[in-house]
Every structure is written in structure tokens, then in C-alpha cells.
């Protein structure tokens, strides 16, 4: 169970996992630091064979193209794109070869329909969408690489909730975490003939 700063939340989550009679190890790493990524991977792979990698950690700042500083740009590219690159490369080199591995990249509906808002974030996710397809080709047939492009699912903690958000969501509601869990489980456990796929879980937002 990886975390960056949220050690208390990770501890609480590990207690829930243990109550399900599952084993859990908590691994702390700042994914902006390649040396910490390397250290975390070495520790994780020394514990047990690893069959799946989910690239989820990201930052999401509400800055436009003209407002973006070089620091904003670098922060988004480092965490949202470079970390998945390094993690995927380590996973491809060291993951278990006995059954096909699975990589899932968590994207945003903006990745395939970039607009004007959240500029560095959108570009980082668009690049991660391209990496999904490129790695699906590179890593077949040993590893499948798919992505989930999310719409409104959890309101950001550092921004006021945009009350207009549902106006552009054909399904007229936020996604539920159960729906995300179903989709992640499907991509982890479903047909390994699916690779290079980007599935939108966004209530149709990308069509509007």
C-alpha cells in the first residue's frame, strides 16, 4: 500500500485490508524523487511477486496556459508522467513472468479532449494516454496496458466544488467509487486480450 504524505490514512486503510484476512505492507515514497521510486520498487519486489501496477497519484492545479509557471509545468510532468514512466519500466523489468502483468493508468476525460482549463495537468494526462498505447505495443504479450479516463468522481480538496460541473455530464451525477472499483477489478482480472484501451468512466462527459 503506497502513500506519499498520508501515513495516517494508509495506516487506517491497512487495518481495513487486514480485517479482510489479506496481507498488507505500507510503503512510503515521494514519487517526485526517482531515488525513492527505485527504493520503493526494490522493497516491494523483495516482498512478493507483483502482477499489477496502477498509476494513480497525480496533482491537479487549476492553472491556465498563461498562468502556468515553469514550476507548475515541472510538478505535473514529474508526478503525473515521469513517475508512471519509471514505475512502468521497473515493473516491466522485474514483474512476475509466470502470468501476464497488468498496468492501469488513471487518466482524466480531458486526456483525449484537451481544453483550456488545468493546462499542465491536461497535457500530462494526454501524454500518459499516449504512453498507455505505446506501452501496450511494447509490452505485449507479457503485460497489458490500459487506462481509465475519469470524470467527476471525488471533488478536489483544494478547490471549491464547481456546482456547474454536472451541467456537462450527460448522466447528471457524479460517479461512485463502486463503479471505479468494478472497472479496476475488470481490468485487473478480465480478459487479457484487452490492451491499449482507454475506458471512460465519466458519465459521457468526453462526448459533450
State the residues that interact with ligand NAP by CB under 6 A: 3-6, 30-32, 56-60, 79, 106, 108, 150, 152-154
| Nearer to ligand NAP (CB atom), residue 81 or residue 136 | 81
Minimum distance from residue 96 beta carbon to ligand NAP (Å):
24
| Biggest CA pair distance of the chain | 51
Minimum distance from residue 49 beta carbon to ligand NAP (Å):
23
| Nearer to ligand NAP (CB atom), residue 59 or residue 166 | 59
Using CB atoms, what's the residue nearest to ligand NAP?
4
User: 111 near 151, Cβ under 8 Å?
Assistant: no
| Nearer to ligand NAP (CB atom), residue 101 or residue 108 | 108
| Nearer to ligand NAP (CB atom), residue 57 or residue 131 | 57
Amino acid at each position: 500500500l503506497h502513500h506519499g504524505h498520508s501515513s495516517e490514512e494508509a495506516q487506517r486503510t491497512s487495518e481495513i485490508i487486514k480485517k479482510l484476512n489479506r496481507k498488507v505492507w505500507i510503503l512510503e515514497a515521494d514519487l517526485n524523487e526517482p531515488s525513492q521510486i527505485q527504493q520503493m520498487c526494490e522493497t516491494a519486489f523483495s516482498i512478493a511477486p507483483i502482477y499489477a501496477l496502477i498509476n494513480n497519484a497525480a496533482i491537479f492545479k487549476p492553472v491556465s496556459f498563461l498562468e502556468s509557471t515553469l514550476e507548475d509545468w515541472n510538478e505535473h510532468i514529474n508526478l503525473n508522467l515521469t513517475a508512471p514512466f519509471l514505475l512502468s519500466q521497473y515493473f516491466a523489468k522485474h514483474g512476475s513472468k509466470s502470468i501476464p502483468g497488468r498496468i492501469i493508468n488513471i487518466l482524466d476525460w480531458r486526456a483525449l479532449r484537451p481544453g483550456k482549463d488545468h493546462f499542465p495537468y491536461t497535457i500530462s494526462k494526454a501524454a500518459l494516454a499516449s504512453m498507455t498505447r505505446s506501452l501496450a505495443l511494447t509490452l505485449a504479450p507479457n503485460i497489458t496496458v490500459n487506462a481509465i479516463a475519469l470524470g467527476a468522481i471525488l471533488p478536489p480538496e483544494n478547490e471549491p466544488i464547481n456546482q456547474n460541473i454536472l451541467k456537462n455530464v450527460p448522466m447528471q451525477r457524479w460517479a461512485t467509487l463502486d463503479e471505479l472499483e468494478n472497472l479496476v477489478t475488470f481490468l485487473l482480472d478480465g480478459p487479457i486480450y484487452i490492451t491499449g484501451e482507454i475506458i471512460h468512466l465519466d458519465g459521457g462527459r468526453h462526448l459533450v
